[in-house]
Chain A
Amino acid sequence: MNPIYLEASVVVFGLVLLMAEAFLPRVDKRTFGWLGVAGLLLVLVLSFFVTAPTEAAPWQRFYAFDSAAMFYKRFALVTTILVLVMAVEYVPTLQKYLASATPGAGVGEFLCLPIFACAGLMWMASAIDFAMIFVSLELVTISFYILVTYTRRNPNSLEAGVKYLILGALSTGFLVYGITWVYGLTGHTSLAKIGPALLALQGQDTAIFFSFALILVGLGFKVAAVPFQLWVPDVYQGAPTPVTAFLSVGSKAAGFIVLLRVLDVFLGVPAIVGKIGLTLVVGAAATLIYGNFAAMPQVNFKRLLAYSSIAHAGYLLVAITSVLPHPGSTNPPVPFGETIAFYLAGYLLMTLLSFIIVIVVANQSPGDDIAHFNGLSRRSPFLAFALLIAMASLAGVPFTVGFFGKFFVFASALAGGQWLLIGIGALSVACGFYYYLKVVRAMYFQPVAAGADAAIELGGPTKAIIALLAGLILFLGIFPAPALDLYHASVKPAVALAK
């Protein structure tokens, strides 16, 4: 099967679901959520049956089909499936803020929109042409504009929506401006052609670096790297929780895959490699420091996860800096694609597990502050234990996937001789233990607040998914090979990229 059918089927499926929702008013809206899950699962299965086309087709100029692309397509599908599960779980809260004459109005669309964002993410995984990158990025971002502000009777959600819209549009502006500069310099939008064209330019280093910096600003916003992180805490806190989870995993992964592809091109220009390196090192250092230190005083769980998301962007940037050529080391630059893929896979599991539990707990508590998790170990030992695993993994305790992620990151940083970042990383890890264990403290040490001590009810499918995620975190923490195999196994006979 041709890989482009994957995205096509996702889009068509989303449209069908949206139509069905409109014409079947009597059906319980949650059914569409589960249908969405089923449909995306089917696409996920199909993704294992795609083969590389035998002859070059015109679309291959802007659509790559390599191991990374396949990995991130599946990544997007898994993320969206889990987000849909969360969205179904979130419906009670959603309806609180969607009070209208017809019960259930608006719920169906909330369950369908993530599917379109998913298609955008999948396209982005394959995008190797700036036009394609831009279009798929916008498909994702516009879906998010709607989703973030969906609970519009909640002032926090509105605030989040406005902030995300304005800053998102601004960052897109930077991205497009950067793309324009590149086009102006080289006359191409295809990454494969830009590389050689940039090399042929003489004495244009400043212009090349300027265009790269503009693109970096746009992508920095997506991955939540300092100094483009200001939107993150407010938007994460205000947005409906499933959307927050989607943003923190999907948006970040998409940002990183585009960053990888763009970096690949610009690092081919020897004259600006040093400047790129400095920018990335400073960015990674600032992101690590800001994310970790600002996370410590947080009292709202979603805000805490927002800062943690910034912190993890920092670790991912550290992995990227290891590719930079550095003086004084005999080790060859380390390829970071594998490290980042693994880290993101682990990040997906632990972050989404945390968010699912936040939704379940917040549904049956006054809110989603850390204080509302007080005594969770008594209200639901199962949820508390699962969240303990997620927090341990986020902090990077061995035998969880988070540890292997950090291990790969710092091993490549050591090989790359990034001493400054390693020093900051040591501090960050210690900070991380503090703020992740704060949640554990609330769950296990603190007494339950009076009046909020009811046992937490948990549906069967949600419980199964929580158990599955926790199990995967532990399994990949002991045997990481399957995830890495998945990254490599998807390498099919590569089609020659656009010539």
Chain B
Amino acid sequence: MKNIFLYLLILIPLAGAVAAMLGNSARRISLLAAGANLALAVLLLAGFNSPSDDPFRYRAAIAVLPALDLKLLVGVDGLGMMMVLLATIVTVCAVQLSPEVKDREGAFFACLLFISAGCIGAFVSLDLFFFYAFHELALIPTFLLIGIWGHGERLAAAWKITIYLALGSFILLLGLVALYLAIPAEHRTFDLTKLYALQAQLAQNSGASLVPVEKQGWIFLTLLSGFGILISLFPFHTWAPQGYAAAPTPASMLHAGVLKKFGLFGLLRVAYPLLPEGAQACSKVLLVLLVGNILYVGLVTIAQKKLDLLLGYSSVMHMGYIFLGLASLNIIGQSGAALLLFAHGLSVAALFAVMGILRDRLDTTRLEDFGGLARTMPLLSLFFGMALFASIGLPGFANFAAETMIFFGAFGADSLSVKSVFDFTPLQWTVLAGLWGVVISAVYMLRAYRRIFFGPLPDTLKSPPDLTAAQRWPFLVLIAGLLVVGFYPRLLVDVIKPGLQPTQPATPARVGVAQR
């Protein structure tokens, strides 16, 4: 076993979790583990660009169940590498920004590191089984984090999020097993790299696909429902705002920033490459649902009166764009979706971090209780402003680059052939509808910003202190990440794209439309 790096990425947080539970200075141990992991991820990224034929680097495998060809197979392509980077960055920031934990500090940080390890494990697994299993590792820690250290309606939220996610995971598992069983018996394996190779080989030889076309539709639909619940796809989104509002700050950051991205990552990793015809067949359903995410949830967000719920709903809403990028079924749109995974992960983590700090200092999240805080907390208001500009999609931030790619990708493929709006495809109508989402997010975000940071400072707010020195650098890291990728998106796009290209369906149906 030559490449133990990716195993290390999983093991470091796990070891950190155990050490945090047993040791005395849990916060320092966790920060050390998270920092070491980030350093390792950056090193791996630096070594990633060496030329190689294999899209998956740093591969390694440990046999688990030879009879089923089940092994702990790890490796990353550009997409996986980016997700690992996202997970490690957000973990470090979440640990650093954790409020003071008075009760069972060790267990608190252990839960955070467990979630982190689960996410990273899922992002580096190239085996369908462990890909799924690692994600589930985060389930119980989430339940504990919300239930023990949560805020407000923590018990109800803990139950809701856990049961929802358990059900979603189970549907996902059924979809994955159905996929496995739909593959002709002589090819059956959980090894994704083998499946990709077979798929490519079959397409080249006979134009056939690995999974029989007639089964692809419903398997894709099962995967979409399973992943969709985990991603908070409309109408399965109701767990998310409540859960994020009740969770302790670092848990919301990790969950909304990283863990939720697992579902989208999974669609890109499993569903779209292996079930191209299924994706075609289900595209209309997905379009309707994602408009629900963008417009319906967007309007719900405007109506929110509490900052925590507002951020929760807004994070649900932005999933709609990522789905739009996936539904575009072309390389620009899907690269944009992948880039938005990263951008949204950083920006939502920063937003939740600000919300958590406000909640800790002022004991309230109701928007009407705030006001004029820019005077007493200038730094916080600056960071919040940056994060929300990123979230709206202002040029210069990574979100802008990603959303632009998504809209162009989804709209653009055959736009030259369009003579009037009556020639629009459903996808293009969806893009038009989705563009309104940008307006909606500007409305609620800017309103919230004005309400909190400008206007008169109520007497009830006992001039709260600004960010402490230790709280500053995580924000700097998150905002810097957004800006760097925003100004130079190719930094990540070039890494992601080679992994996405072979996963495109050979003949998108819309080529036909263009030729007509």
A residues near B, CB below 8 A?
331, 377, 388, 392, 395, 397-399, 403, 407, 410-411, 414-415, 422, 425-426, 429-430, 433-434, 437, 440-441, 444-445, 478-481, 484
Contacts and interface: CB of A to CB of B under 8 A. Distances in A.
Nearest to B67: A484
Contacts of B133: 398-399, 403
Interface stretch (B27-35, B136-144, B354-362, B496-504): B136-144
Among B65, B140, B158, residue most surrounded by chain A Cβ atoms (within 10 Å)? B140
B379 to A, nearest CB: 35
Given A398-B137, A407-B173, A414-B181, A444 B144 contact: yes
A481 B66 contact: yes
Contact of A410 (B140, B148, B163, B177): B177
B177 A411 contact: yes
A213 to B, nearest CB: 31
A426 B174 CA distance: 9
Interface of B: 64-67, 104, 107, 129, 132-134, 136-137, 139-140, 143-144, 147-148, 155, 158-159, 162-163, 166-167, 170-171, 173-174, 177-178, 180-181, 185
Contacts of B65: 479-481, 484
9 contacts: A397-B140, A398-B134, A399-B133, A399-B136, A411-B180, A433-B162, A434-B159, A437-B162, A481-B67
Given A398-B137, A430-B163, A440-B143, 15 more contacts: A331-B185, A377-B104, A397-B140, A403-B136, A407-B129, A407-B173, A411-B181, A414-B181, A422-B174, A426-B170, A426-B171, A433-B166, A434-B163, A437-B162, A445-B147
Contacts of B159: 434, 437
A480 B64 contact: yes
A429 B64 contact: no
Contact of B148 (A411, A444, A480): A444
Contacts of B140: 388, 392, 397, 440
Contacts of A395: 166
B173 A410 contact: yes
Contacts of A407: 129, 173, 177
A440 B155 CA distance: 12
Most buried by A among B64, B129, B163, B170: B170
A395 B171 CA distance: 15
Nearest to A481: B65
Contacts of B171: 426
B147 A331 contact: no
B64 A481 contact: yes
A397 B64 contact: no
Contacts of B144: 440, 444
Contacts of A425: 170
A433 B136 CA distance: 12
Contacts of A434: 159, 163
A429 B170 contact: yes
B147 A444 contact: yes
A479 B66 CA distance: 11
Contacts of B143: 437, 440
A274 B148 CA distance: 51
Contacts of B129: 407
A58 B335 CA distance: 72
Contact of B64 (A392, A433, A441, A478): A478
Nearest to B104: A377
A226 to B, nearest CB: 22
A182 B140 CA distance: 50
B141 to A, nearest CB: 10
B178 A414 contact: yes
B137 A399 contact: yes
A465 to B, nearest CB: 21
The 5 A-B residue pairs with the shortest CB-CB distance, nearest first, are A398-B133, A398-B136, A433-B166, A430-B167, A445-B147
A397 B136 CA distance: 7
B161 to A, nearest CB: 11
Q: Which of A399, A403, A434, A437 has the largest number of chain B CB atoms within 10 A?
A: A437
Contacts of A415: 181
A463 to B, nearest CB: 16
Contacts of A441: 147, 155, 158
A476 to B, nearest CB: 11
A434 B164 CA distance: 10
A392 B180 CA distance: 26
